Structures are given as C-alpha cells and as structure tokens.
Structure 1
C-alpha cells in the first residue's frame, strides 16, 4: 500500500500516523504555562491568599466598595480543596470565638469561608473537649486541698512488719467484688502461661507449682545440692508433699513440726476435703511415718498407686510434656499434663524432708460456683485429649479408652 499524503499540505505523514483515521488525535495537548507565584512578603515568606485579600481591602480608600467575590463554596468543598490550608488565616482563630480578634464580615469568599471553617473548628473543639472530660471523669479527680479518706490503705502506717500475715489478710479484704467478675466469662489461660514460663526458665530443672504454694525454709538450696547428685535410671519427676495448714498457726520450720500439726488436726494433705484424688497417690501416711536419718533431701518412696486426676507439685527436667492449652480456667489443667507424663513413662519419686504448704484449711462450701462451671467445660475437652494421647504413645495404662467404649 503506497504511503498516505495529507490532502491539504501534500506532505507525507509519519509512519506511526499513516494508517490512523484521525492523525490529529496523536498530537500532544498544549501544556499551560506555570502559574506565577504570589509576591513574597517581608522575610521571604509567601503570604496566603486570604491574608493578601484582607490586606488589599484594608488598603482601599475610604468610601470605596470592595469588588464582589461571588458566592463562596460549601464547607465540604473547602475541606477538599488542594490548597485548603492556605485559605486559613495564619495564627488566627475563627472570628466568632470569644477572646479572639474580630475579622471583617463582608459577604466575600474569605469571610464566609472562614466563618464556615470556624464552625467546623468549633465542632472539632467540642468533640475534643468531650473526650477530655470523659477521661478526666474516669480518673475521679479530687479537688486541691481535699484528701481522700480510705480506711483500708490509711492503716498501712499502723501495720507492723513483724506480723505480715495479719497485714496481708487485711489487704485482701479490701478487694472489691467487681475485680473478680471477669472469672465467670473470661477463664484464665493458666496452661499457656505455664508453658511461657518454662520456655523462659534459665535452669535445667523446673518446679511446677501454684502461685499460692509456699515452700519450706531453705528448700531451693537443698534441692540444688540434691539435683547435682541425683541418679535417675529413666524418666523421673520428684514430688514435693503439699499440706494445708490452719491460718491460726505459724508456718512449720521443719518436717517434725509439720507432722505434729497434722496429728493435732491443724494441718492435712492438700485438697484432702475438697478433692481427695488431687494428692492421694503421694501416700502422706507413709511420708509422715518414715523417719529421716539425715536432714539432706533424699527420696522417701516411689508413687506406686498412680491414678487418674493425680496432680502433684513436682520438680523435673524441662523436657517433660508441655501443658495442653485447650484447658483454660479451672479444672484438668495440671492433671492432664501429669497423666501424659505417666503414659510417657515418667516415674514419680516423693522427696523428704522438704515440703510445701497452703494457708487455710479448704472446704467445698468455700469454692466459688464459677470454678465448677469451668471444670465442666474442661471435662468435655478431656475426651478428645485422651484419644490424642493414646494415638501418640500407643499406650493406655489406666484403660481410659476401654472405659469410654463401655
């Protein structure tokens, strides 16, 4: 096909325009010249349009009317304007706010626009003041010169460090019931926090216990000496006997005093009245009747009657199975992990003469109702847990799967 020629000029078109029906469509549009910048004020700073327009009006001779500026745009248009910041007067508040200088109120673009922007500023100030007032109300401020009276904390100066037990009991009574309402709907993630604590432990051995369990005097130092020379043929976990002691007695300094309190009914095995299976396999009778020829930590006896729901406080290497985090709140949080240890082949050895204690003799009527509710929820989770343990180790020493089939 021969090259096309323009019918008016008779010249040949470029190759990229020869087959196009409208060659003029490829012509680049004309770029408008750049807008001239406004004159700079003193100091080299460009004056905003609003300030320049007000200065021009101020320079008009007396009696002359300013030129009309037309109808101002709405507030939304001013907010979306690409140069909306330049339309605001620098270092000046809206004219209708009290305590600020008045601006001219002619019917011009700047005046109406500034009034509209001022209303928007005022609405924002009201919202900020409301949020500030809400935060202040949440803090319950006290006027200057007025001292809040709190009979609970004011007694701190009267308390003596020589009797810390009574001081702690008094402080615990100051708790409000509202601080414990979260337990009903928000179960505490105990097993997750136990695993997190174990991962950050800096020693080879860990002590799995509760936060309200008190160790006997010098137990940590005695355990260090024992663990350095302890010999275990397989997988071992060292059980530390735990007792409940009456709040009226002092903490027993040694095993002899603890046994004396137990014979008088002022101390008993942990959870003996609330849930006897919790520590029953430890065999406290044998531990109390066994004489200790030496005061160094040693193995008293081996747990031979392990049963389900046994959850002792023990010391073991950090290689024991982790706590299953599907159990949250109260119930099946520790005994599920101890059950997996037993299936995995761990041997439980009871130590003496060290021990741990819990203040107060517990009874069932003191148990809050939310614990039973959480315990029932975790009981449903245990059916799936024991099936996974059976599939993992291919063992069922307590016949848990056969009980389920029956």
Structure 2
C-alpha cells in the first residue's frame, strides 16, 4: 500500500541531500476507446502546421511518439488552475502574493497569467503612482534577486521562482530562475513504421443553409465589411478591400465574411491513433534547493517547502480536469503513480495527493515560514497600471504577432 506524503517528507526533500525529485505519471486513453484518435498539439514550421514527432525509450525499446501537451503548455495548465483557485478565494492559494497589472481600457492580469511572470513586459512597461515600475524600490529589489537570496522576489512574485522566469531584456544584472516543475503528455503512436510516422489528413467543410455561394457586388461587400469594421481584424479588412477592388463592376465572393459554403477538402492535419498516452510531471527539489531566502538553515528550508507546497496544491487542482483541446478528449486509464526519489537508486511510491492533502502541506509550510522567515502570505497584491499604448497597439493578426 502506498504511503502518504507527510510534511516531514517535504521538509526533508527541501533540506540539503534530500530527494532529487517527486514524479507523477498517469496513463491516459482516448475517451472514445482504444479505436479513438486524438488531435495532438500543433506547431508551425515555416508556413505549415505540423505535429511534433520524436523517439522515446518506452517499454524497453525506442518508439515513435507525438507531443500531445508540451512542457510549456502543461505548466500553463497548472498556472490556470492556480488562477481559478485564487479567483474562487480558495485558501491557502488565495493568500499568495502576486503582481497585478491593470489596463484602464483592457484586461487585468496577474503575474501567474503572464509568460515571463514577474519580469513580463506588461509589468515592466507599467507605472505605479505615476512612476515607472522599473524605478520602484520593491520591484527593483525583486528584479535584482539572485539564487543566493530570493527573499524580495518571494514576497512579490513567488510564482516566478516556482514556474521559472527570466529578465531577458534587461541590459545587465539579469535574473533567471529555471522552472522547478515541468510536465508533458506524449502519445505512443499506434503504428511504428520503419520510415517514421506519416501525418494523417482530414477534410473540413462549411454548410450555408441559405446558399452554397454568396456573390455580392463590390460596393455591397464593402458596405458589409465597413459595418463590422470594429470587430474585424485589419488583415481581414485589407483582404476584403482587395477583393472589392478586383471585382471592379462585377461581383466578389463573401466567403471571407463567413457567408456561403466551403466544399470538403482534405487539407487539414488529421487525428492520430495512439497505443498509449502518458502524462508526466516532475517537481525538482534539486532546483528548489538552489534557492536561499536570507535565513540559513531552517528558514531556507521553509521557503523552499512553501514553493514546493504551492506547486503540489496547484498541480492537484490541475489534475482534476482533463481538458486539453478540441478532438482530444481523454480519460485516466489508471490511477496516477507518484514517486519520491530516495537517492542512490532508491525511491518510494506515494499515494496520489488530493487537493485537501496538498493544501494541508502548503499550510504547514506557511506556518513554518512564518515562524522562521517572518514570511506572511495575506494575498498581498503589488498593483501596477498598464501602459495604455500597449492596448491601443494590440492586434489579433497572426502575421503581426510573429
């Protein structure tokens, strides 16, 4: 019978010479059954959409696999679960300090929702009480934090230490912290062909109940586009304007405005059959042990335990849902296998953590940090005002975003 992860286990893992990692591995399966195919993650190579194939050592031999959920996407799902818990006021996660950037005519985003977390461009371009954030003393101290003493960053943006961050655009004195938590989902391809995998294709189509084709005079099409101009991208408006110009005195297709049918065409990436699907997550205690909090000994251990507890509480919530993407509905084929490294080739199997158990570990770590580090989590929010020029210059056109 698997043991439960105790707080003593967590403290020992955060202490010098402790466990290197905690791993969670779950076998998944297509919700439709073994015959069901799924949509892996899509990537862009040149101008083409592709799947990420590779070779992994599985069941004692190298096998062709495809990426279903990448390392960065998997981590984003953990952060999304953390964001939901904070939005719902769930303790102890809702007590976590954070940086919040708010745009007057746009969104309000926290550091755990931004790609570079506490060092993100949205935050660095913001102001606080009319002063550039980069000149504010608390933020400068957080930006200057290094592994030898991360206390200032821990008090402002702990997610930057757990999920990784890099102050890449800074001219000098850059801070960079690797993610202490990584994960992915891969699928072992059902067909292990000698020459490597072949990407299946599938057809797409659109039916218009009014007419298979809608052809409009140029001025009419132009008027329809202008009536919706506030809601259409600049790129689409340019394409429609070209269609109108080419039509001269004739007519042009209104398909760009979603009118008319699109005949089936075998040109989209198809679904992939997998004989096995594996989700894995690794929490690196070795990475956490590189961090110090200005309190050698028990205080440093407590700071690491808080970050580990934060990761486990967020992961437990993320694993409650199996929402990946359209055409990729999955179920658990077996219970998660959680393993705690015991060093020197030894390991212990741990019972999967429930949300309540993970929260209890984080709460105990916070109590220890309060006592040894005087670290208090009360939902402190470092609020900054986003630069309005960023919202004004925002576009959804993919070419502009690349």
For the aligned pair, the TM-score class normalised by the smaller chain equals under 0.3
Bigger strand share: 2
- TM-score, structure 2 normalization: 0.21
- TM-score, structure 1 normalization: 0.21
Bigger helix share: 1
